Amino acid sequence: MKMKIFLLLLLFSAAAIGSDIDQAMVKIYTNSAAGNYYVPWTTDAPMESSGSGCVIDGNMILTNAHVVSNATYLQVRKEGDPRQYQAYVAAISHGADLALITVMEESFFQGITPLQLGELPNAREQVTVYGYPMGGDALSTTQGVISRIESSRYAHSGLSLLTVQIDAAINPGNSGGPAVIGSRIIGVAMQTMNQADNIGYVIPVPVIRHFLDDIADGSYDGFPSAGFSYQTIRNEAFSERFGIEQEQTGVMVTKIAFGSPAAEVLESGDVITEIDGKQIAGDGTVEIRSGSRTRLDYMVNRRQIGETIPLQIIRNGVPLRVEITLNTTLEELTVVPDKIYDMSPEYFIFGGAVFMPLTLNYLESWGRDWYLNAVDYLSHPFLFDNWRTESREEIVVLTFMLPAEVNAGYESLQNEIIESVDGALVTSFSQFVELVENGTGPYLEMTTNLGNIIVLNREQALVANSEIMAVYGIPEDRYLYIE
Catalytic residues: 66, 97, 175
CA distances from 283 to 231, 233, 252 (A): 9, 6, 11
Q: Tell me how far apart the alpha carbons of residues 206 and 15 are, in angstroms, rounded to a whole number.
A: 28
Q: Are 189 and 152 in contact (CB under 8 A)?
A: no
The one-letter amino acid at 56: I
Q: Are 297 and 291 in contact (CB under 8 A)?
A: no
Q: Are 466 and 478 in contact (CB under 8 A)?
A: no
Q: Tell me how far apart the alpha carbons of residues 169 and 133 are, in angstroms, rounded to a whole number.
A: 10
Q: Tell me how far apart the alpha carbons of residues 397 and 357 are, in angstroms, rounded to a whole number.
A: 6
Radius of gyration, alpha carbons of the chain: 26
CA distances from 155 to 95, 163, 241, 254, 384 (A): 10, 12, 39, 26, 18
174-185 b/e (C-beta count within 10 Å ≥ 16 → b) = bbbbbbbbebbb
- Which of 396, 392, 391, 381 minimizes the C-alpha distance to 346? 396
